Structure 1
Amino acid sequence: MFKNKHFIIALLIAPILAIIAYFGTDMAVSEKPQAAQEGETYKLVSKSNCRYTSGLCSMENGDFKIQFRSEGLTQHALDLSLKTEFPLDGVKVALASSPEAKATPTDMLRSDESGQHWHLTLAAPSSEQDELRVVISANNTLYYGETSTEFVVYETLFTEK
């Protein structure tokens, strides 16, 4: 079997053709990244750290990335900070008790002149099912997203009673 030169050449060429086909298909059918257009609205995707009690929650859409940090949690208040690489024009945050519930958004306050650090104190979430909703304005473009509040440290909330 290995004495046939056609068979040996096929064994050498087949993996090379498979790699070329893999990358060629990816280039042909994958979506090309585009820069955010002024005046448009884009959804932020919650990263996996939002599902764990870590105190951090990252959200992103392409190059646009934000990170929430739970600075403190008591029975009555949740201190949140937000940081990003891009200067923001404004940030509104709401805490909803369920996906169907309506919540009143609150403006976050700038922590510095660069517009990259923001903070806010909200009422403490009542359960792990509460959702954090955010709308961000940057360069006349809106970004929005929602995530569960599981990243907040709940042990302090439920042990202080």
Structure 2
Amino acid sequence: MLSNRHVIIALLVAPLLSIGAWFAVGQLVGEQPHLAEAGRDYPLIAKSNCRYDSGRCALTNGNLELEIDVQARSSGWQLRLQASHPLEGAVVAIEEAGSTAEPRAMRPDESSPQRWVLNLPALPGEGARLQLVAAAGGSRYFADTGSDFLQRFRTPGP
């Protein structure tokens, strides 16, 4: 069977044709990326570092990327948000277990329109959820993620 040159050529060409067909079908019928439309809401996807004790949480949708971290201050904690593009506003709600969250507006940092901060009297407790809404380019982007990435900043209990 392998002495027939037609079979050998078919064995070499078939995988290349199947891979080419897979890409062609993806281009023809696959979902094409589109620009965000003003006035619409879009979800932000939490990256894996939001689920682990990384100290940072990255959120993304297309080319908009947001990164959340905290910094210790003498009067408490400061929640910081760094964006890949200038934001028009940002609101955060921290939902503790069994309580409703009160949204609080972040304020822009003087150093950059892409950095936003919010002063917190205390670090969110274990199991708290962070809910974020950020406005950029006339669109709103929202996320709901856990606070597991803040675990390294929490003091160990008795």
Question: TM-score, normalised on structure 1?
Answer: 0.87
* Alpha-carbon offset, residue 139 of structure 1: 2.0
For residue 148 of structure 2, the aligned residue among 140, 147, 150 is 150
Tell me how far apart the structure 2 counterparts of residues 126 and 77 of structure 1 sit (CA, whole Å).
14
SS of structure 2 residue aligned to 1:39: coil
C-alpha distance 67-77 of structure 1, shift in aligned 2 (>3 A): same
Q: Which amino acid aligns with 2:93?
A: A
Identity of aligned residues (%): 35
1:116 corresponds in structure 2 to 114
Consecutive unaligned residues of structure 1, counting only runs of 5 or more, are none
Tell me how far apart the structure 1 counterparts of residues 45 and 95 of structure 2 sit (CA, whole Å).
18
Tell me how far apart the structure 1 counterparts of residues 2 and 138 of structure 2 sit (CA, whole Å).
66
Cα-Cα RMSD:
2.2
* Alpha-carbon offset, residue 15 of structure 1: 1.6
Question: TM-score, normalised on structure 2?
Answer: 0.88
Tell me how far apart the structure 2 counterparts of residues 146 and 95 of structure 1 sit (CA, whole Å).
10
The more displaced of 136-145 and 149-158 is: 149-158
Tell me how far apart the structure 1 counterparts of residues 108 and 72 of structure 2 sit (CA, whole Å).
18
1:38 corresponds in structure 2 to 38
SS of structure 1 residue aligned to 2:149: coil
Tell me how far apart the structure 2 counterparts of residues 147 and 156 of structure 1 sit (CA, whole Å).
17
1:104 corresponds in structure 2 to 102
* Alpha-carbon offset, residue 37 of structure 1: 0.4
Corresponding pairs, count = 157
Q: Which amino acid aligns with 2:91?
A: K
Consecutive unaligned residues of structure 2, counting only runs of 5 or more, are none
Tell me how far apart the structure 2 counterparts of residues 94 and 67 of structure 1 sit (CA, whole Å).
16
The more displaced of 83-92 and 23-32 is: 23-32
CA deviation string 1:71-107 (max 9, x = no partner): 1289x94321111121111110010024x85311111
